[in-house]
Amino acid sequence: MNERIKKLKEKIKEHELSGIIVSNPINIRYLTGLTAEGTLIIGRYENNFITDSRYIEEVMNIIKVEDELIVQNLKNLKDEDYEHIFLRDSHVGFEENYITYAGYKELKAKYKVDLVETESMIESLRSVKDEDEIECIKKACEITDNAFNYIVNNLKFGMTEKQLANKIERYMISEGADGVAFETIVASGENSSKPHSEPTDRVIKQGDIVLIDMGAKYHGYCSDMSRTVFVGSCKYEKEYNFVLDQQKKITSSFKAGSNIKTVIDLAEKDYEVDGYEIMHAFGHNLGLEVHEEPALRNKEDSYLEKNMVIAVEPGVYDIGNYGIRIEDTYLVTNTGVEQLTKSDKSIIVV
C-alpha cells in the first residue's frame, strides 16, 4: 500500500473513524500524486477517487497499483452510491480548515454520515518529509540560489521593483521550476519596511536598500529565501548584522526534539533588549505549501522532528524607512539543521 495512505489509515483507526473525505487538492496530491480535480475518499478498507470525465484518462495514467485506488466517474454515480461508500451512521472525518459551511452541509447530505473534524490530520503527516520530498525541495532551493546569483549580477539602479521581480520569476522557470512558490517580493527603499510589500513601479536608486523574498516550486514543492542587498552603499550594517546573528542563534539551537517556544522566547528577548519590534513569526514549516505548520513563534509549544523542512526568517523594520530580512530553508536533522538555500549572506553592495 502507498506509505502515506497507510499512515493516514492508521490515524483513521486511532480516531475510531470509518474514513476521511479529502477535498483539499494539496492533500490529495500529497497522498496520491494526483493534481486532477476530484474528491478522495480514504476508508478503512477501500479508497475511492471521484472525478469527472475530463480527468479519467489522466488519473488512470498516474495512479499506481500500490495506491489501491478505485477511480469513480462522477457522471456514473447516483445518490444511493454515495450513501453506500460508508456504513450508515458512520463517523467520517472531513477537512474543517478547508471546507466551507455550505460544503459541510453538502457533504453531510450526500454521504449521510456524521462528519467529524480531523484537526489537520493530513497536515500533521505532511510536516515531516520523506526522501522524495526532500530531494524536490533541495532542487527548488538550488533553482532559487541560481536565480539570486543571476539577479545580483543583473541588478542595476534605474530598474523598477516590478521589472526585477519579473526577471527573477522568468529565470526560475527557465531553470526548471514549475513556477514560483509565492509572488516574488522586491521592496526597495522605504517600501522595504513593509514585510509583505508587493512590487511597484518604484525605481531602484543609488543608496537604496532592496529586500528580495523569493522561492521556486519544483514538482510541487517550495523553497523560500530572503536576502537584503544594498545599491551603492550600506547604511545599515549594525541592523543587518543583528538580523544575521539572530538567524545564526536560532538555527544553532534547532535540531530534532527542540522546543520551538523555548528557542523563539530567547530570540524575542534579544529583540526587546535591542529595541526592535517583532513584525512577524520567525519562520515556518514548508513543503507543498510555502507556509505550513508549525510556525516558529513563541505560542508554538511543540517540538521539531527529524526531516521537517523549515524557513527561518528574522527581520527588523523601521516603518517608512527600511526593512532587513534574511531567510533560508533548512532541513531538521538529529544533530542540528542543514541549510538548503546557500546564497551569500554577507553584506552585498551592488
Q: DSSP labels for 117-150? A: E-SSHHHHHHTB--HHHHHHHHHHHHHHHHHHHH
pTM over 0.85: yes
Q: How far apart are CA 15 and CA 114, in angstroms?
A: 14
pLDDT in the model for residue 55: 94
CATH 3.40.350.10 in the chain is located at: 3-126
Confidence bin at 271 (pLDDT 50/70/90): very high
Kindly report, residue by residue over 191-225, the tens digit of the pLDDT: 999 999 999 999 999 999 999 999 999 999 999 99
Kindly report, residue by residue over 243-258, the tens digit of the pLDDT: 999 999 999 999 999 9
Per the CATH hierarchy, to which homologous superfamily does domain 3-126 belong?
Creatinase/prolidase N-terminal domain (3.40.350.10)
pLDDT in the model for residue 48: 94
How many C-beta atoms lie closer than 10 Å to residue 113's C-beta? Answer: 24
Return the amino acid letter for 13: K
Nearest to 324 by CA among 229, 214, 208: 229
Kindly report, residue by residue over 90-114, the tens digit of the pLDDT: 899 999 999 999 999 999 999 999 9
CA angle 166-285-185, nearest 5°? 20
Q: What is the dihedral of CA 228, 193, 287, 103, to 10 degrees?
A: -160
Q: Is residue 273's pLDDT more than 90?
A: yes
pLDDT, averaged across the chain: 95
Contact between 332 and 255 under an 8 Å Cβ cutoff? The reply is yes
Confidence bin at 262 (pLDDT 50/70/90): very high
Contact between 161 and 199 under an 8 Å Cβ cutoff? The reply is yes
Confidence bin at 66 (pLDDT 50/70/90): confident
Q: Which of 84-93, 141-150, 248-257 shows the lowest per-residue confidence on average (mean pLDDT)? A: 84-93
Q: What is the mean pLDDT of residues 14-19?
A: 94
Nearest to 280 by CA among 331, 319, 316, 227: 316
Kindly report, residue by residue over 285-309, the tens digit of the pLDDT: 999 999 999 999 999 999 999 999 9
Q: How far apart are CA 8 and CA 32, in angstroms?
A: 12
How many C-beta atoms lie closer than 10 Å to residue 205's C-beta? Answer: 12
Q: How far apart are CA 8 and CA 10, in angstroms?
A: 5
Kindly report, residue by residue over 180-190, the tens digit of the pLDDT: 999 999 999 99
pLDDT in the model for residue 254: 98
Q: Is residue 64's pLDDT more than 90?
A: no
Nearest to 200 by CA among 147, 159, 150, 155: 159
Query: In the CATH scheme, what architecture does the domain 131-339 have?
Result: Alpha-Beta Complex (3.90)
Q: Is residue 284's pLDDT more than 80?
A: yes
Q: Is residue 89's pLDDT more than 80?
A: no
44-81 burial: b if 16+ Cβ within 10 Å, else e = eeebbbbbeeebbeebeeebeeebebebbeeeeeeeee
Q: How far apart, in Å, are the Cα atoms of 331 and each of 219, 296, 310?
A: 18, 14, 7
CATH 3.90.230.10 in the chain is located at: 131-339
3-state secondary structure of 241: helix
pLDDT in the model for residue 249: 98
Grid cell 546564497 is found at: 343
